[in-house]
Amino acid sequence: MYLVCGEALFDFFSENDASGLASRVNFKAIAGGSPFNVAVGLRRLGVDTALFAGLSTDYLGRRLLHVLQDEGVNARYLVDFDAPTTLAMVAVGANGSPQYSFRGEGCADRQLTPAHLPQLGAEVRGLHVGSYSLVVQPIADTLLALVRRESGKRLISLDPNVRLNPQPDIELWRSRIGELVQLADLIKVSDEDLHLLYPEQDPQTIIEGWLQHRCQVVFLTRGGEGATVFSRQHGSWSVPARSVEIADTVGAGDTFQAALITWLTEQRLDSVDGVQGLGREQISAMLDFAVGAAALTCSKTGPDLPYRAQLG
């Protein structure tokens, strides 16, 4: 089982109103949040998965719970809170990239404290953390404590997935990511994230610095330019993006992340030792699988992550 940790929320996507009236704004609400998407994506790809998250007892929170149950995500590590569900208002730009506006202060997905940290059995082979849960309190310190406790014992994957709307303090992001990269075995990061975190620095230099800690492999996603992998043992190389008609890119990064973990799980390499022993051909196969999965998500509207049977 893989334990994904972090936020669960509803994305409200703006839609065109046929009336043209400025007083009307139509929205379509879709369950989401990067960790939520990764958990659902893992289950759709056939990986036993649980989500460690705070869920609201309000109407939207119960809908999130129902989605997780319907998708087969293990609910053992969910914690209920009498607090609102976070709302992310999403407007999709002309190139398919989403622009977010968050309503999350005091909401349920931020409320996890160290007292809520679960004891994990041997069935939990790895942890994934990412997105704004890394930097909003009290969940940020809770997840850091969990990763510190489990680093070296279970596979740790990290996706910074920087979102400045819920936490605009970029120095706080840098500080927390700087701590977490020392504890992770596998990192997935977008070129947009690196530009936000370190706008004046060369991405390769940053990633090579990360590889000086315990991390074995870093995957850099570059949107329509494809992806590059950096391996401590085997150097770096790139692959192009798959050619698809893009509906939007919402959920593509989460799909990429879920596909990486899925490949490791299917190959029985979802462990600290497994990642440390990866060969160049194995990493290439892992990268190709993730790029193909992300392309399929880009061909659909919203975070509609693929099923295993769709990937061949």
Domain locations along the chain: 2-311
pLDDT of 251 > 90? The answer is: no
Amino acid in the structure at residue 78: L
Q: Please give the full DSSP string across 236-252, using - where no structure is assigned.
A: EEEEPPP----S--TTH
**pLDDT 10s digits, 127-151:** 999 999 999 999 999 999 999 999 9
pLDDT tens digit string along 83-125? Answer: 999 998 877 665 666 677 888 999 999 999 999 999 999 999 9
Strand, helix or coil for residue 170: helix
pLDDT exceeds cutoff 80 at 289: yes
Structure tokens at 180: 């977490």
- Name the band, by pLDDT with cuts 50, 70 and 90, for residue 311: confident
The CATH number assigned to the domain with range 2-311 reads: 3.40.1190.20
Q: What is the pLDDT of residues 58-68, one digit of tens each?
A: 999 999 999 99
Strands 78-81 and 49-56: parallel
The whole-chain average pLDDT of the chain stands at: 92
- Vertex 44 angle, CA 158 and 157, to 5°: 10
Q: What is the pLDDT of residue 120?
A: 96
Residues in contact with 63: Cβ distance below 8 Å, sequence separation at least 6, in sequence order: 10, 31
pTM of the model: 0.92
The predicted pLDDT at position 306 comes to 85
